[in-house]
Structure 1
Amino acid sequence: MGRQRTRNAGAVVTGAGSGIGRAFARELARRDGRVVCSDVDEIGLKETVDLIASAGGEAVAVGCDVRDLGQVQALHDTAVDWLGHAPHLVINNAGIGAGGKVVGEAPMADWQQTIGVNLWGVIHGCHVFVPTLREAGRGGVINVASAAGFTAAPRMGAYNVSKAGVVSLSETLAAELAGSRIAVTVLCPTFVKTNIFDGELIDAGAAGLARKIARVAGFSADRVARTTLDAHDKGRLYVVPQLDAQLLWRTKRLLPAPYTRAAGLLGRFVPDE
């Protein structure tokens, strides 16, 4: 499919009930794709499918908890049946926010839930869908990580670890698929104007600060989705869409130890709950 991978695509998008996932689904439909939308949020999922249908697109809603391998396998089977062929594009987007407590104080339940959705969800998506793409001999995978995967900001341990894992998994997958007709892209944004800061695993102080920054400096989910799909068509592995994310990425790579010390000092200014 080459540069037209995201056009006329039979696509699967997890976490499509809101935010970046909904933006991906709608943009793919605008590009004349047929979209299998999944989420645990049935109301949000129906809204996404209805929005696509009202704009003349074609989409179907499939409930799926990405933490459950069996449910992801069922999503795969439903997608193949509905599309009539292997998907052209799989977007592992489902994720939750978490933060506000230091390592050792953040409850283990928060770690388990965050890694379960953000990392195991992507692992399950790749484990189930990539063999089908290999068999078809073409396609693409977009994994949604975060700049948190390399910025390692204090009091975001579980979230940072989950997103760093997604970056590493994407790099590994890209290496394994090098030379094939299957492209891999990992998205690493900073602040995006979505509802991720409303999650129950984010302390009120950290969530309030994140919302303020997102309102002022955050990109819209639609802009992030368009940028990522365009980059995927060009075969780019990394998508770091915002200037602040690019600056942090380069600084961390060039000056890792000074960067970490500076991050620790700045982290003291994040308000407590």
Structure 2
Amino acid sequence: MPQLPFLARERVSRNAHAVVTGAGSGIGRAFALEIARRGGAVVVSDINLATAQETAELVRAAGGRAWALQCDVTQFEAVQAMADEAERLLDAPVDLVINNAGVGVGGRPVGEIPLEDWEWTVGINMWGVVYGCHIFAPKLKALGRGGIINVCSTASFAAAPMMGPYNLTKAAVLALSETLAAETAGSGVKVTALCPTVVKTNIFTSGRIDASVTPLMDKLVALTGVSADGVVRTTLNALDKGQLYVLPQFDARMIWRAKRYIPSTYARGAGLLGRFAATRR
């Protein structure tokens, strides 16, 4: 008996024609490599063309197909041009989109964070994902298959102190992912929101993190950070199963439950923990 579209178990991550933003390092690079391992071809996009080329070379060295493109995701025209060029390079419709490009900002309370940092973070973390979804979601719905992975963060619901711009933008990406999942239901297109805690990437060194917080973040990454490779495998498998939320670590799942079942207690506890951390700098 043929399967109904909403019951289909198509393995989106296999033999995909993919676009990954922010793929010059970290989670984006791990996605590109894993997609290639699963038989896919990938367009590696990053604002830093040199690191994008490094990722593409790693994919090709592992026997995969990859092309590097420079793209500033804060500019709609640049994302549109990248999407058009990706289809030309792949010689096929894009059927897997990973909106991963993102930056970290933190270390100061609301009111002390420069407005320039707010604008910078919103441009990359939020508008970059909005542009990617705006361009690719209609294409995928017309195709009748494929998937979109938006890289959010536990920050999208944890709302930890001293991380206002990052929290704001990641919450927006999670809300966008939930909206898009509802809008694509039954269309054959799958949407997954990745919400990890600490992953061993360069987001803290490449972002705008207050210098007084940097040693603490370095320790946190060293002690609790997990590899991007494992997070990526979990996420692609979840996409194949049609799962909307991916919380790949135990602490992410605990924060998720606490925020929903005891929100007021959680907020007070987060504030106290933030103030204690501030005294330990």
Q: Could you tell me which residue of structure 2 aligns to residue 190 of structure 1?
A: 197
2:124 pairs, out of 112, 117, 125, with 117
TM-score with structure 2 setting the length: 0.95
Query: Which ranges in structure 1 are unaligned for 5 or more consecutive residues?
Result: none
1:205/1:3 CA distance change after superposition, 3 Å: farther
Residues 205, 270 of structure 1: 8 Å contact kept: no
Q: Could you tell me which residue of structure 2 aligns to residue 127 of structure 1?
A: 134
Q: Could you tell me which residue of structure 2 aligns to residue 101 of structure 1?
A: 108
Cα separation, 2, equivalents of 1:124 and 1:34:
22
Cα separation, 2, equivalents of 1:31 and 1:43:
25
**SS of 1:106's equivalent?**
coil
Instruction: Give 1:201 deviation, angstroms.
Output: 1.0
Alignment of 1:46-125 (within 5 A): 46-125=53-132
Cα separation, 1, equivalents of 2:58 and 2:278:
38
Determine whether 1:223 maps to 2:230: yes
Q: Could you tell me which residue of structure 2 aligns to residue 201 of structure 1?
A: 208
Instruction: Give 1:200 deviation, angstroms.
Output: 4.3
2:32 pairs, out of 17, 21, 25, with 25
Instruction: Give 1:205 deviation, angstroms.
Output: 2.6
Cα separation, 2, equivalents of 1:115 and 1:179:
31
The letter of the residue matching 1:255 is: I
Determine whether 1:174 maps to 2:181: yes
The letter of the residue matching 1:246 is: R
Provide, for residues 74-101 of structure 1, a one-character-per-residue CA deviation record: whole Å limited to 9, x for no partner: 0110111111221110000000011001
Residues 95, 117 of structure 1: 8 Å contact kept: yes
Cα separation, 2, equivalents of 1:223 and 1:203:
29
Residues 205, 271 of structure 1: 8 Å contact kept: no
Cα separation, 2, equivalents of 1:43 and 1:79:
18
Determine whether 1:242 maps to 2:249: yes
Instruction: Give 1:269 deviation, angstroms.
Output: 2.4
Alignment of 1:241-260 (within 5 A): 241-260=248-267
Cα separation, 2, equivalents of 1:259 and 1:4:
37
Residues 37, 49 of structure 1: 8 Å contact kept: yes
Give the % identical residues: 56
Cα separation, 2, equivalents of 1:271 and 1:66:
33
Instruction: Give 1:102 deviation, angstroms.
Output: 0.3
Residues 97, 136 of structure 2: 8 Å contact kept: yes
Cα separation, 2, equivalents of 1:2 and 1:88:
15
Instruction: Give 1:236 deviation, angstroms.
Output: 0.3
User: Could you say what the CA RMSD is over the residues aligned between the two structures, in angstroms?
Assistant: 1.2
Moved more, 93-102 or 202-211: 202-211
Q: Could you tell me which residue of structure 2 aligns to residue 157 of structure 1?
A: 164
Cα separation, 1, equivalents of 2:215 and 2:34:
29
Residues 121, 166 of structure 2: 8 Å contact kept: yes
Moved more, 95-104 or 191-200: 191-200
TM-score with structure 1 setting the length: 0.98
Instruction: Give 1:137 deviation, angstroms.
Output: 1.2
Provide, for residues 40-60 of structure 1, a one-character-per-residue CA deviation record: whole Å limited to 9, x for no partner: 112211110110111111000
Determine whether 1:210 maps to 2:222: no
The letter of the residue matching 2:107 is: G
Cα separation, 2, equivalents of 1:267 and 1:45:
36
Instruction: Give 1:3 deviation, angstroms.
Output: 3.5
**SS of 1:140's equivalent?**
strand
Length, aligned pairs only = 273
Cα separation, 2, equivalents of 1:266 and 1:114:
24
Q: Structure 1: which 4+ aligned runs deviate by more than 3 Å?
A: none
The letter of the residue matching 1:14 is: T
The letter of the residue matching 1:77 is: D
